[in-house]
Amino acid sequence: MRMTPELRRKIESFVEKEITAFHTAKAASLAKIDLIKLLSTKNPYLFRAKNLEVASDLIGSLLDARISSSEEGIFGHFLEELAIFISSETCSGKKAGIPGVDIELNRDGIRYLVAVKSGNNWGNQSQHKDLHRNLRAAVMVIKQSGQIGDIQPTLGICYGNFAKAYKEHYLHVGGKDFWELISGSQTLYRELIEPIGYKAKEHNQSFSDARAKLTNQLTKEFLEKFSVQGKIDWPKIVDLVSKSKEPRKAKAKKATAKKAKKRPAKRTRKQS
């Protein structure tokens, strides 16, 4: 089954709106980047090992790492919302009101409770355990509500070419199989690539301009604060990232002592 012309129009309309929001959020994330936070969250030893000695190259590498991480999170949210929309249009799916579950849908007499993730390499061990608990709890909630029938907790991955499998108590499905599950279309996973490219050239040119401006601003600030005679002051960067901080009590004592030192001594009355 292929995507119908009507469904294509609806998806294109949804993507046109949401992909613009993605690019807007991506651009807005640049405004939140400041030099100290950018340096503080990255591994200085790694960038030193890359032999980055030109300030603009270092700032560019730091920005690329930061933007990539932010971009994946923002786009992952977009894909999850797209999946919810498509399921609502094709098989009466709906956004779930159960913690940890994104989509509820019925297919071939089975009620699927689907947690959606953009890629297969998501989350840490603790987050995976939380997902397992949430899916188990979701099944219990449905059963306690008195509804009968087959219930299938599912982890749906938006892209990836691994085989569909049952892991412990849930179905693990991704890529083509995931989009087919929520739409009934065997070709949807391929057909989505075109509408997602809506005005990509214009959006990315605007983002590139903003990134170039930010790179220049951060490079100027970096040279003022973290260079000596035009050379990168690596020890100062390492201090920023890794030097031990004073405990709060010690800082408070120092501040109190400093204030006391500045305070003028009280004059005593002369005895008559």
Q: How far is CA 50 from CA 141, 221, 233, in A?
A: 52, 22, 15
What does pLDDT average to in each consecutive run of 10 residues of the chain (272 residues)?
79 86 87 91 89 92 87 85 91 84 90 91 89 91 78 93 87 94 90 84 88 95 94 95 74 60 57 46
State residue 268's pLDDT score. 53
pLDDT value of position 272:
42
Q: How far apart are CA 207 and CA 198, in angstroms?
A: 15
Q: In whole angstroms, what is the distance from residue 29 CA to residue 24 CA? A: 9
Of the candidates 171, 158, 149, 177, the residue with the CA atom closest to the CA atom of residue 120 = 158
Can you tell me the distance from the alpha carbon of 117 to that of 162, in angstroms, rounded to the nearest whole number? 14
pLDDT at 12: 87
pLDDT value at residue 269: 54
6 CB burial (10 A radius; 0-12, 13-18, 19+): exposed
Beta strand extents in 14-98 (DSSP E only): 94-95
Surface-to-core class of residue 214, CB atoms within 10 Å of its CB (0-12 exposed, 13-18 middle, 19+ buried): middle
Categorise residue 51: left if φ over 0, alpha if ψ from -120 to 50, beta otherwise: left
Q: Which CATH number fits domain 92-183: 3.40.50.300, 3.40.50.970, 1.20.1600.10, 3.40.1560.10?
A: 3.40.1560.10
Q: What is the pLDDT of residue 95?
A: 85
Domain edges within the chain? 1-80+196-272, 92-183
Q: What is the pTM of this model?
A: 0.75
